[in-house]
Structure 1
Amino acid sequence: MVSHMSSPATSSDREKVVSKLPGWLRQNLKVRAAQHGLEIQTAVEQGISAWCDLASATAAVDTAGADSFATFLPPGQWEEFRRTAADRRVSLIQGLAQSVQLWLDTHPAPDIERPSITRRIIVCNQKGGVGKTAITAGLGEALAEDSNTLHPVRVAKALTKALRAREAHPDGAEPDDDPLDIENLPGPGLRVLLVDFDPQCHLTNQLGAAPLPMNGDSLTNHMAGDPKGDLRDLVVSVDDDTFGGRLHLLPACNDAFLLDVRLSAVRAREAALERALAPLEADYDVIIVDCPPSLGLSMDAAAYYGRRRNGESPGQSGALIVVQAEDSSADAYELLTTQIDDLRGDLQVDIDYLGIAVNLYDSRRGYIATSSLQGWVDIKDPRVIGLIGDLKEQKEAVRVKKPLLSYAPKSQQAVGMRALAREVL
């Protein structure tokens, strides 16, 4: 997925032209150019050039309702286009529409890049209340967004720049509203499974699903070697209107409180989560596991599931650590990294850190928040790859049990979740 546009040419070496295009054609052009990482003016230039090179005009395009459309073209191209349109006895509006349609026809939407090995992201921290569930949901939603629709994304925003900006606004004003830091980009369009691996069922409840009943089947049963059916039958789809059937959830069950006890009697228990989820992997590009705040066997199984597999590139799967900009998160971080490092040594496996996401950040908390954020930024390995503000939209989305990115798709938090998703990609 292209993460940014090519550099726009300055208008000084091009000439501005104004014509008309129907709204639907302009929207298709806007999306397709973004999918190919091109400026709109470059796509129009290529389309006009190709149209002028044809032996004759192409099929007529419906231009009803066309309204003003301006772009910048290389000097002389518009004059050549005008002459060609006159020779072909078509209006400039019709010629431009044919040129744009020709470019669309010869530049189809790129195929979505699907990983050869399903990517497994383990969202974790030993401390509760840091917002692991919100990050799990927001990341999954951002990865599943439609590739034929543009979404506002914060791009190439250095976190140290964000830190300095926030320190310069101690009154809590949000400096992140600068539109220069936001681009409208196509969604990744990936097939995503969210796994609620926490017996408290927060992810399940926040997305409006029902926790699984204690006397039925569950992920715990499958991990303990006592399945009561096909795990696929427990999976539910999340907000198909927004995510087009690409975002699914495996709900939690309160029986996960007993998981560590049940795992103690299982052979090769570190691989229990992998054995349970393996039959589902072919259906998904990414599986994201929302882990409980635990140091027990269940966390061992989650970390092992996120290990680097044979033939998998570094950084494709692994642990995404969620923290807050306050001191107790640092203590929990030490416990988690010690546990993962022990697993690496004991089992001789590679478990990659995908990065740190600093959640619930609020510069109005003053020095504690800004100095703690700087502490996370200074770690460098793993590096901070996401900064999500403590704003009302997430709380409101939880209250109404809707995904954040469909409840408030243009909110600062949604924009930040998309930036996090592109860092993970």
Structure 2
Amino acid sequence: METAQRTAVAETAVAEQDDGTETWTRAAERLPAQLRKDLLVRAAQHGIEPWRAVRDAVAAWCGVPAQAGARVEQAFRKECEARGLTTARALPEAARLWFDANPVPPVPRARRPVRTARRIVVCNQKGGVGKTAVSSGVAQALAERGERVLLVDYDPQGHLSQQLGVAVVEDEKESLSAHMAGDAKGGLASLLTTLDCGFSGDLVLLPACMDAFLLDVRLSRVRSRENALERALASVEHEFDTVVVDCPPSLGLGMDAAIAYSRTREGEPAGRSGVLVPVQAEDASATAFTMLMDQMEDLRADLGIQLSQLGLVVNLYDARRGYIATSSLEKWQALEQPRVLAVLPDRKEQREAVRLQRPLLSYAPGSEQAQLFRELARRLG
């Protein structure tokens, strides 16, 4: 009897450890395209992996515990036979029941007026490393899970605005640059554009303005210019959980203001706000990164502020480029601070989304890059 009990306990333990990741991942891929996209988004909103959502859906449909491991799959096949259904027909039915049982989680709006907005400044003085793609992807992933996000196009080239299908600001008298220089009379709120592409109104863009090319010149005449961006955004940032700033490739006065905007404020935990640095697996990125770190150190010393390095994002990685790429990636990953938060491959879905002027997570929610942006957002907290 004792031997039989031990065997049963051991079998149960094995079944519990066998979560069926591969099985349910394949099951998710068999769902109809739109249902699969919806499931990816809803799972992200609940903070769980898509395969777990499918497993939980099937377990509930069969009336067995989701933690039953391999027995869930067995129960599913038996239940399909009993109901006279194929697994291909039963999976969508189970998924729709899961949607009913797991609605979009409510967003606690009441906390926003009393909580300081987190600031994520995406910067690197080297061009072409993917600052815009990273800024947009992170902002989308945060908005997808229910945060209200302000995405600031701080680059006068306006690539972020263009890629999201939003026109740059024409009224230079009311632009972000004018507000930073103290020349504007109105408020920034009128410039904000809500991106209604499946983010429940939680993703808002402050478009670029061409006059930002003159920002450094205008800031040279402003007192306490390092705080200019913080002063300009003060009238709107309290409406958001997170502000993501897409910076230009620059080390000038405007960049000083952006880095200073990411400072740790009084009462704010260290590492909540800070700079996120996209790099590439090649030597020029390492040189630019060193220059950025020197600029941050100078600002710390000159202004007496605390600045946090949130991490690195190795972007457009392709191991097929050989030793330069692989060895550079190893060097980035060997850094203890800042640590590498994500390695993003070069994939066509990102370029297609840009061409169609659609957010990546709306255009291709199931793509590898979309999943990596969701993971990056989770690591940022």
Per-residue deviation, 1:262:
0.4
| TM-score, L = length of structure 2 | 0.75
- The code of the aligned residue for 2:147 comes to L
The equivalent residue for 2:176 is: 219
CA contact (8 A) 1:33 1:43 kept: no
Query: Secondary structure at 1:125's aligned position in 2?
Result: coil
C-alpha separation in 2, matches of 1:74 and 1:336: 48
Aligned match for 1:366, one of 315, 318, 322: 322
CA distance in 2, matches of 1:424, 1:246: 18
From the superposition, tell whether residues 132 and 42 of structure 1 become closer, same or farther in structure 2 (CA, over 3 Å): closer
Q: Could you tell me which amino acid in structure 1 is paired with residue 143 of structure 2? A: A
Please tell me whether residue 322 in structure 1 is matched to residue 278 in structure 2: yes
Once the two structures are TM-superposed, the CA of residue 229 in structure 1 deviates from its matched residue by 1.7
SS state at 1:199 partner? coil
Q: RMSD of the TM alignment (CA)?
A: 3.4
| Deviation at residue 69 of structure 1 after TM alignment | 2.5
**Aligned equivalents of 2:211, 2:54: Cα separation in 1:** 57
Q: Paired residue for 2:62?
A: 69
The answer as to 2:199 corresponding to 1:210 is no
Q: Is the 8 A contact 2:158 2:207 kept in 1?
A: yes
1:140 aligned partner = 139
Q: Structure 1 or 2: larger strand share?
A: 1
Q: TM-score, normalised by structure 1?
A: 0.68
Q: Following superposition of structure 1 onto structure 2, how do residues 259-338 of structure 1 map, counting pairs within 5 Å?
A: 259-338=215-294
Alpha-carbon spacing, 1:366–1:276, altered in 2? closer, same or farther (3 Å): same
- Which runs of 5 or more structure 1 residues have no equivalent in the other structure? 1-7, 15-23, 48-67, 76-96, 146-187
1:350 partner letter: Q
Residue 72 of structure 1 and its aligned partner are, at CA, apart by 3.8
Q: Aligned to 1:376, which of 322, 332, 335?
A: 332
| 2:362 counterpart SS class | helix
Structure 2: how far apart are the matches of 1:69 and 1:347?
62
Gaps of 5+ in 2: 1-11, 19-34, 69-93
Distance across 1 between alignment mates of 2:125 and 2:161: 20
Q: CA deviation at 1:112?
A: 5.0
Distance in 2 (CA, whole Å) between partners of 1:400 and 1:36 is: 28
Q: How far 1:11 moved relative to its partner?
A: 3.3
- After the TM superposition, list the runs of 4 or more consecutive aligned residues in structure 1 that deviate by more than 6 angstroms: 30-34, 36-44
Cα distance, 1:386 vs. partner? 1.1
**SS at the partner of 1:71?**
coil
Q: Which has the larger radius of gyration?
A: 1
Provide the identity percentage.
Answer: 52
**Displacement after TM superposition at 1:73 (Å):** 7.9
Aligned partner of 1:128 in structure 2 is 127
- Given that 2:42 and 2:104 are in contact with CA atoms closer than 8 Å, whether structure 1 keeps it comes out as no
1:406 aligns with 2:362: yes
Query: Does the aligned pair in 1 maintain the 2:172–2:209 contact within 8 Å?
Result: no
Task: Map 1:112-127 onto structure 2 (within 5 A).
Answer: 116-127=115-126
CA contact (8 A) 1:199 1:252 kept: yes
2:206 corresponds to = 250
Q: Residues of 2 paired with 1:246 and 1:366: CA distance?
A: 41
The answer on whether the counterparts of 2:56 and 2:66 sit within 8 Å (CA) in structure 1 is no
Of Structure 1 and Structure 2, which has the larger fraction of its residues in helix?
2
Q: In terms of mean alpha carbon deviation, does 349-358 or 226-235 score higher?
A: 226-235
**Partner SS state of residue 130, structure 1:** coil
Residue 109 of structure 1 and its aligned partner are, at CA, apart by 5.0
CA distance in 2, matches of 1:135, 1:282: 23
Q: Deviations over 1:368-415 (max 9, x none)?
A: 111111110011100000111111111111111111111111111111
CA distance in 2, matches of 1:264, 1:382: 31
- Structure 2 CA distance for aligned equivalents of residues 307 and 137 of structure 1: 21
Structure 1: distance between partners of 2:290 and 2:305: 20
Q: Please give the alpha-carbon distance, in whole angstroms, between the structure 2 residues aligned to 1:221 and 1:254.
A: 11
Secondary structure of 2:198's match? helix
Distance 1:351 1:357 in 2: 18
1:140-190 deviation digits (Å, cap 9, x = unpaired): 000001xxxxxxxxxxxxxxxxxxxxxxxxxxxxxxxxxxxxxxxxxx210
8 Å contact from structure 1 (residues 41, 71) kept in 2: no
Query: Matches of 1:33 and 1:366 in 2, distance apart?
Result: 34
Q: CA deviation at 1:364?
A: 1.0
Do the aligned residues in 2 keep the contact of 1:206 with 1:402 (CA within 8 Å)? yes
Q: Answer yes or no: is 1:192 the counterpart of 2:191.
A: no
CA separation in 1, counterparts of 2:66 and 2:348?
44
Structure 2 counterpart SS, 1:255? helix
- Asked if the contact 1:32–1:109 (Cα under 8 Å) also holds between the matched residues in 2, the reply is no
